[in-house]
Structure 1
Amino acid sequence: AEAKFKEAFPDDLDQSNIVLVVRREQPDGLLPEHYEFLSKWVLPELHRIAGLPTAEESSEAAEDHVVAETAAKERIAQSIHSFEDKRVGELYISDDKEATSIVLSLRTEFLDQSNRKMVNEVEDFVNKLKHTPTKTAEPSLPAGMEIALSGTATFGRDMIQESLNSAKSTEKWTVILVVGLLIIIYRAPALAMIPLITVAVSTIISMKLLILMAQAGWITLFTGIETYVTVLVYGAGVDYCLFLVARYREELDGGLTIEDAVSGTLERVGAALTASAGTVVCGIGMMVFAEFGKFREAGIAISFGLTVCLCAALTLTPAILRLAGRFAFWPSASSATSRNDTGFLSSTDLTSRIKRANLLAQGWQWIGEVIERRAWMAWSLSIVLMLPFVVAGVLFFGNLSYGLLSELPDTASSVHGAQAAQRHFPAGEVAPLKVLMEVKGMDFSPIQGESEKLVEQFTDNLIRQKDSLGLYAVRSLAAPKGQREMQVLSVREMPAYKMFVRKEFVSSTDSSIMSVELIFKNDPFSRTSISDYRNLRDRIHDHLPEGLKDANLYFVGSIPQISDLKDVTDSDQLRIDALVLGGVYVILVLLLKRPGVCAYLMFTVFYSYLATLGFTYLVFWLTAANPSEFAGLDWKVPMFLFTILIAVGEDYNIFLMARIEEEQKVHGPVKGIIVALERTGSIISSCGIIMAGTFCSLMAGSLVGMDQLGLALAAGVLLDTFVIRPVMVPSMLILLSTGRLGIFSRLGGFQKKMAEKVAPSENVKSPAA
């Protein structure tokens, strides 16, 4: 439809706009002196900023066409429309007479970087008018008059600026949170710096290589991709380093030298680390199969960053540990190789006292014992507690916001301007729907004739049904100003006016094509906008007169774009969900060789995803300024949440299952589960807390969608860390291992006997020793 419109109306170069909403909310509204002020001071300055000649300047320079055409090609501004337009000027005055709009049309897309300079200049001019004192030589706003800035180019400027600010805040708080949490966990500054160095180097290398690949044309990257790469690399990279360092400390506690401890660590956990990282890379990498570019580009960039991070964790981190030696555990470096010491912490440190008291180990041991005794109760309780949020996630799954302004904070200029405009103009004016009608063999160019009568009949049909179609106005050849009364024109003026109207509504390249502009009553970015548009799209053919029944209709505008976006992202959601679940499941089966257990592990993370989605929706719905108008979560949240949460959740499950298999060889089926839970409880919990902390940094910015995604990811990771992994997974494994699930236990290859009661032989050494 967009291509057809550009072909039919090649001179219509408007791609975005800057809108000045001028208002005076008094009973008498805007007075003649206010319009005089706008004509004398505001409009000339806007022409100067835009590089457009005024009406007087245009007539003076009409002789030099070459210079005029050259200047027109170089500037980004196309035209300025206002109340001064003799033909359609009244369209820019509100029905309540309290507001008027001045529209500066641009040839560039709304997110084009070149718009920024012009938007800033217009904003600076408006601010100068607001703050200039009266009774001075400089112009100042008349008393009671306000000017607000809106328009798609203004929104684009605000979106780019807020994205940059959010990226900077996210990166800053990611580092602060990671450093703080690492120091709290390790109580050793040098040891805390090792993971930080690894992820910092990984992030820098990843982004530099991605930029080089984009410059070479191999890939494309959207603005803001660095935020996603930074957060995921920091979160996952620190987790990988934590597992390495934790096992490294275990090896040192076992009496090994630093050299042997480093090599032993890589030998014992290198494969599990690679497998878990491969699961995350595979899961997130499935987004490359999305049709929507942003999802596809995110899948490429994030997966590449995680791959670089894994390589750094397996090479750079062990190298730094080896080079640092005992200094890595400063200020307790002297005891770094002492097996019988209390650890690598100060003997008076609070964490050391907790460690000496063995409170953490006892806590996880107690949890394991409770789950062992009450496996059914623990599993049922975890399911029931999450069930209300799962139900909410399912019920509100499709309630998504596709609005542009809903992304920005209320303090943004474009949001304030849009709110000002909607107080006086129809909500649909911000995004009209253009319907392109192509009728083979029809000629819409004659001023009078059959075509004009058919258009009048079609327009009247729509106007009669405007309430059921959700329309405010219909603008066409027959009603160029919508439902407003046309000004009385003389016989001499009428032909010129009709020729002007045909230039606006009939194609200059094909007279069998004309356009109709429809204005909706409701906000085109509200929750119901897509259903309103689709209702009109499906019913509009019924209102065509007989002579236009064979017309081909094309729909152009923001609302059709949003509708198409929903179709594409809905299709992507189904495709990527299936690919992620299938891909991760295959990896689990290859690693664990237990299809039934792997299916259950997939169920747990999917269940937690639905619970997290429902929880996030309820939080933002209940905390919204007006819950009844809450459109839903940002449309990007479900996709990113699903791919990241499924991948990261199974990442933790792989670490747990790898340790369970290791411990079961020594302690037996059930006891091995409890010991594995005890041994991995603290480290996996630490990883989960750090990962959740890095995701929380997404909330440091001002973009609403990033706030929602940050909360959802943090909540989902914490749910996986403290409910799924320590309760739902072990309790089900115990039920299977003890034969309490009957046929399911036998199908899963589990034996009913309590093999964990068999003590390990003395010549078998526990891997955790």
Structure 2
Amino acid sequence: MPAWLKQAAAVPGGRRGKWLVLAVWLVAVMALGALAGKLGEVQDTSANAFLPRGAESAQVNTELEKFRTDELMPAVVVYSTDGALGADDKAKAEADRAAFAKVAAKGEQVSPAVASEDGKALMVVVPLPGEEQSVIADKTAELRDIADANAPPGLDTQVGGPAASMADAFTVFETLDGTLMMATGLIVVLLLLLTYRSPVLWLFPALAVGFAAVLTQVGTYLFAKYAGLQVDPQSSGVLMVLVFGVGTDYALLLIARYREELHVHQDKHVAMQAALRRSGPAILASAGTVAVGLACLGFATINSSRSMGLVGVIGIVFGFLAMVTILPALLVIAGRWVFWPLVPKHGAPQRATRPLWRRVGDSVAAKPRRSWIASLAVTGALALSAFGLDMGLSQNDWFQTKPESVVAQEKLSAHFPSGAADPATVIVKTAGAAEATRAAEGTEGVVKVENAGTTPDGELTRLSAVLAGSPDSQEAKDAVKALRGSVDGLVGGTAAQTVDKETATARDLKVVVPLVLLVVLLVLIWLLRSLVAPLVLLGTVVVSYFAALGAANLVFENLMDYSGVDWTIPLLGFVFLVALGVDYNIFLMHRAKEEAALHGHAKGVITGLTSTGGVITSAGLVLAATFAVFAALPLVSMAQMGFVVCIGVLIDTFLVRTVLVPALALDIGPRFWAPGPLSKDRPAGGPASTTGSPEERTLENA
């Protein structure tokens, strides 16, 4: 460890340094804490926040701002019956139109009630003011109250369209951060209680994570406000889960090492300084790997993916800083009693390595080749299912439970042209509007084209093109591609956005995935001073990712009945699983390398596995449980991401890190560390000891 890093590590555990660290964190939280509550003010909730940068559909959204000083968002009210509409049904729709006029945007007209060809449904379009999501949500709620009131028997009423879809999404995101933070915090506390079996110790990592969470929100707000960092509700929600999960992982590792040092050093300050010096490099390498991996998402074109990656880096940085500064300071200030009832006593023998992990290590060592072949067969079998993924979610599948906007779309699709409620938007120069209209009308998949107005300066004209297929159908996507080829203008709308997302996803996978693999490989080479070991570790993490994706696909198809997988899942799942999965390999192999230098390769690998088994398993369970919180969220895309990361972490914790990696290391032999000095194995220096110098003792006893 560099001298400056040793000096920095000594501060939180120092007699004076601990108070300085505590004072700095308290001042920072008290002075800046109010800004944490302002994060919602800088969140970008526009449609472009979830679209690729520079995409044609995003350009259309920007051009639409020129058509009015106040943006409009249409809500579509649909009235339907099982049989033919009666006079009372039509009268209800006409009466509602008068009431809707009071809710509509000022100066805008509510459309006449349009009857379906089968005579079983009516459609009314209400233009709502679209400046703020909260206003759209309130206005949509008013429309629903009006439509539901005094409806004749047998008449179903639903409010859908873009405004209602946005309102339903806003309702989900409005309480997302608070719900995620409460659920994640509760899970972390419960797991810490089970891990430490202490009524006190859990409080300290929980407090440290709390400090990190506050400053993470502050930092994210400041970067969004003054540095142009894009933050959307989805990335904001994932941010808190990431801070809680990763921060708790680092806390588990540090506390385990601190407990060990307390058996050797009578002075708690010396014990903490030793714990920081010996666990610090692994924690730093882990945090650096995750941060760099997430930063690679900055090269993605989809704005929401870029946001999640860059915002996640802020969370990792503050989580790391909290765990190596305020957590050590709090533990040293409190003293040994925080471990009650299992208080570590100076000079007392440490608990022996748990028999479970010793048996696992011996089993892997007995027949390493058989072990890695068997584990690779299991992960490979799961990975095969990943190739059967159905990509893309329809609008009807965005939510776990169908909101009213989805039901309305289903009703509209059953009685009207599927794209009637959400037509494609074409922006053309006014001089060529007539020619563009004729070209659009002659395009396959386009049912009707209407002039929807011009900009105040008369330069641009907006055309509304009703598509035959629903906005997320292949028919609609083909129509959009054909429109873009036949019309001299910009084509946007929901179907066009789907096309642009598909194209951008394919591009991002080709660019970001190799970049993540490269930077993670370089970090591993730097940490392990080896080339073979990093390549093996990286390969196992990739296998783990495909196994997680395959296992998730089996669950999605057979248990959750999802129609497909959101386009962002493969990329985000890869980045999270590779970055987080390498974490546990870093903890394992950093210890194995340390032990191999003392006792030889084979003994070092087994000792590394048995000594880190408990703490890494606890860390994996915490991280998996925090991401499992997403599975209960209403949004299918977030539930899918949470499930993929959760199952991937579990596979990595219990199979890859426990069996596959040690077995490969043992089968390859000392060449595993090539071309480093450890590749020339020397005779073992004797069995690993649980007494003596800290370098020769176990990393943890969770």
TM-score normalized by the length of structure 1: 0.77
Structure 2 Cα separation of the partners of residues 174 and 512 of structure 1: 49
In the other structure, the counterpart of 2:506 is 570
The correspondence of residues 37-76 of structure 1 with structure 2, limited to 5 A, is 37-39=92-94, 41-50=95-104, 72=107
Structure 1 Cα separation of the partners of residues 281 and 161 of structure 2: 54
| CA offsets 1:478-507 (integer angstroms, 9 cap, x no match) | xx6xxxxxxxxxxxxxxxxxxxxxx65899
Letter of the 1:406 partner, please give it: D
Asked whether the equivalents of residues 585 and 599 of structure 1 are also in contact (C-alpha less than 8 Å), the reply is yes
| CA offsets 1:375-394 (integer angstroms, 9 cap, x no match) | 11111111111112212223
In the other structure, the counterpart of 1:525 is 472
Asked whether the equivalents of residues 737 and 750 of structure 1 are also in contact (C-alpha less than 8 Å), the reply is no
Letter of the 2:315 partner, please give it: G
Q: CA deviation at 1:208?
A: 1.8
Structure 2 Cα separation of the partners of residues 633 and 194 of structure 1: 39
Letter of the 1:723 partner, please give it: L
Structure 2 Cα separation of the partners of residues 126 and 204 of structure 1: 43
In the other structure, the counterpart of 2:217 is 207
Which residues of structure 2 form unaligned runs of 5+?
1-55
Asked whether the equivalents of residues 272 and 328 of structure 2 are also in contact (C-alpha less than 8 Å), the reply is yes
**Of 120, 132, 141, which residue of structure 2 is paired with 1:98?**
120
Q: CA deviation at 1:290?
A: 2.2
Q: Does 1:599 align with 2:535?
A: yes
SS of 1:727 mapped into structure 2: helix
Structure 1 Cα separation of the partners of residues 674 and 152 of structure 2: 85
Structure 1 Cα separation of the partners of residues 665 and 433 of structure 2: 75
The correspondence of residues 160-559 of structure 1 with structure 2, limited to 5 A, is 160-254=170-264, 256-333=266-343, 336-337=344-345, 339-340=347-348, 361-396=354-389, 399-435=390-426, 444=434, 462=443, 469=444, 471=445, 474-476=447-449, 515=463, 517-521=465-469, 523-526=470-473, 528=474, 532-533=478-479, 536-537=482-483, 541=486, 552-559=488-495
**Of 709, 728, 732, which residue of structure 1 is paired with 2:641?**
709
Cα distance 1:622–1:31, how it changes in 2: closer, same or farther (>3 A)? Answer: same
Q: CA deviation at 1:509?
A: 6.7
Structure 2 Cα separation of the partners of residues 531 and 101 of structure 1: 24
Asked whether the equivalents of residues 391 and 565 of structure 2 are also in contact (C-alpha less than 8 Å), the reply is yes
Letter of the 1:768 partner, please give it: R
**Of 52, 56, 75, which residue of structure 2 is paired with 1:18?**
75
Letter of the 2:320 partner, please give it: L
TM-score normalized by the length of structure 2: 0.84
In the other structure, the counterpart of 2:576 is 644
Asked whether the equivalents of residues 161 and 409 of structure 2 are also in contact (C-alpha less than 8 Å), the reply is yes
SS of 2:110 mapped into structure 1: strand
**Of 68, 73, 80, which residue of structure 1 is paired with 2:110?**
80
Letter of the 1:389 partner, please give it: L
- Cα RMSD between the aligned structures? 3.2
Cα distance 1:36–1:700, how it changes in 2: closer, same or farther (>3 A)? Answer: closer
In the other structure, the counterpart of 1:492 is none
Asked whether the equivalents of residues 533 and 560 of structure 1 are also in contact (C-alpha less than 8 Å), the reply is no
Structure 2 Cα separation of the partners of residues 385 and 173 of structure 1: 32
Q: CA deviation at 1:155?
A: 1.0
Cα distance 1:675–1:81, how it changes in 2: closer, same or farther (>3 A)? Answer: same
Cα distance 1:327–1:79, how it changes in 2: closer, same or farther (>3 A)? Answer: farther
Structure 2 Cα separation of the partners of residues 650 and 50 of structure 1: 54
Structure 1 Cα separation of the partners of residues 272 and 413 of structure 2: 65
Structure 1 Cα separation of the partners of residues 251 and 216 of structure 2: 18
Q: CA deviation at 1:746?
A: 7.1
Structure 2 Cα separation of the partners of residues 178 and 122 of structure 1: 42
Structure 1 Cα separation of the partners of residues 350 and 376 of structure 2: 39
Cα distance 1:505–1:746, how it changes in 2: closer, same or farther (>3 A)? Answer: closer
SS of 1:702 mapped into structure 2: coil
The correspondence of residues 557-636 of structure 1 with structure 2, limited to 5 A, is 557-625=493-561, 630-636=562-568
| CA offsets 1:681-701 (integer angstroms, 9 cap, x no match) | 111111101111111112232
Higher mean displacement: 616-625 or 315-324: 616-625
Cα distance 1:313–1:745, how it changes in 2: closer, same or farther (>3 A)? Answer: closer
Cα distance 1:121–1:683, how it changes in 2: closer, same or farther (>3 A)? Answer: same
Which residues of structure 1 form unaligned runs of 5+?
53-71, 73-77, 84-91, 130-139, 344-357, 445-450, 463-468, 481-502, 542-550
SS of 1:220 mapped into structure 2: coil
Q: CA deviation at 1:657?
A: 1.2
Structure 2 Cα separation of the partners of residues 745 and 251 of structure 1: 28
Structure 2 Cα separation of the partners of residues 179 and 206 of structure 1: 20
Cα distance 1:438–1:47, how it changes in 2: closer, same or farther (>3 A)? Answer: closer
Q: CA deviation at 1:432?
A: 2.1
Structure 1 Cα separation of the partners of residues 490 and 138 of structure 2: 34
Number of corresponding residues: 640
Q: CA deviation at 1:340?
A: 3.5
Structure 2 Cα separation of the partners of residues 172 and 152 of structure 1: 31
Q: CA deviation at 1:591?
A: 1.2
Structure 2 Cα separation of the partners of residues 35 and 432 of structure 1: 25
Higher mean displacement: 421-430 or 580-589: 421-430
In the other structure, the counterpart of 2:139 is 118
Cα distance 1:693–1:51, how it changes in 2: closer, same or farther (>3 A)? Answer: closer
Q: CA deviation at 1:765?
A: 7.6
Asked whether the equivalents of residues 75 and 127 of structure 2 are also in contact (C-alpha less than 8 Å), the reply is yes
Q: CA deviation at 1:292?
A: 2.3
Structure 1 Cα separation of the partners of residues 460 and 177 of structure 2: 49
SS of 2:101 mapped into structure 1: helix
Q: Percent identity?
A: 26
Q: CA deviation at 1:402?
A: 4.7
In the other structure, the counterpart of 1:721 is 653
Letter of the 2:507 partner, please give it: S
Cα distance 1:149–1:605, how it changes in 2: closer, same or farther (>3 A)? Answer: same
SS of 1:401 mapped into structure 2: coil
Q: CA deviation at 1:192?
A: 0.9
Structure 1 Cα separation of the partners of residues 140 and 680 of structure 2: 73
